[in-house]
């Protein structure tokens, strides 16, 4: 009898504590406190030759403003955006400012800023008010190099999709 009383008292003492802890953890989970990714700073990372000056993530639209620090005028082609989701992010991109480049490409003068605007973004967990990652890649070639070899650039945007 004493043994069962002791066990019951032990449980009643700690059960309250465990219930309180469980409710607290549940409440914190509900408010996304354990989504640690959101504590990371919002970032736009590109090689310094194409430094990222600004970016915005809006529902179905991604914008990144880059500057050409190559010291060379180039033509940009094959601009794409994706991410690591099982159904990856996909957006439309319309090149503007063909200049002396081939159709479907655009010219980027050295020192100039260029805004890469992707529209109609779907899949890849790209949802309003959620944290999203977008990998942007493009190829370019120098107008002055005789064989015009393509060079690949990869960058990444990590931030919150704001509906405002």
Partner 1 sequence: MEKSHQDEFTRLRSSQASLEYLLIVALTFAIIVPTAYLFYNYSKELGHEAIDAQMTQIGRSIIDTAEVIFYSGQSSKTVLDLNIPDNVGSAVIIDGRELAFNITTSFGTSEIVFFSSVNITTLSSNCDANICKIPELASSGFKKVKIETSKNSISIEVI
Name the site residues for partner 1 (rule: CB under 8 A): 2-3, 6, 10, 14, 34, 36, 39-41, 43, 45, 47-49, 70-72, 135, 137, 142, 144-147, 149, 151-156
Q: How far is the CB of 36 from partner 1 (least distance, A)?
A: 5
Report helix, strand or coil for 163: coil
Q: How far is the CB of 37 from partner 1 (least distance, A)?
A: 8
For residues 69 and 99, give the distance between their C-alpha atoms in angstroms, rounded to a whole number: 19
Q: At 39, list the tokens.
A: 């504590």
Q: How far is the CB of 113 from partner 1 (least distance, A)?
A: 19
Q: How far is the CB of 15 from partner 1 (least distance, A)?
A: 11
For residues 99 and 136, give the distance between their C-alpha atoms in angstroms, rounded to a whole number: 23
For residues 72 and 155, give the distance between their C-alpha atoms in angstroms, rounded to a whole number: 20
Q: At 34, list the tokens.
A: 């354990």
Q: Are 66 and 114 in contact (CB under 8 A)?
A: yes
| Beta carbon nearer to partner 1, 50 or 106 | 50
| Beta carbon nearer to partner 1, 47 or 97 | 47
């Amino acid at each position: 009898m004493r043994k069962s009383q002791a066990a019951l008292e032990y449980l009643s003492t700690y059960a309250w504590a465990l219930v309180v802890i469980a409710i607290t953890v549940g409440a914190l989970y509900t408010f996304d406190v354990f989504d640690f990714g959101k504590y990371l700073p919002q970032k736009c990372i590109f090689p310094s030759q194409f430094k990222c000056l600004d970016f915005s993530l809006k529902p179905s639209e991604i914008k990144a403003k880059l500057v050409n620090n190559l010291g060379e005028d180039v033509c940009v082609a094959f601009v794409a955006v994706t991410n690591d989701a099982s159904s990856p992010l996909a957006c439309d991109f319309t090149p503007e400012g063909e200049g002396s480049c081939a159709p479907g490409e655009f010219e980027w003068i050295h020192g100039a800023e260029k805004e890469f605007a992707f529209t109609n973004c779907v899949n890849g967990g790209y949802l309003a008010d959620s944290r999203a990652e977008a990998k942007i890649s493009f190829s370019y070639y120098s107008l002055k190099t005789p064989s015009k070899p393509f060079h690949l650039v990869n960058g990444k945007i990590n931030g919150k999709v704001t509906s405002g």
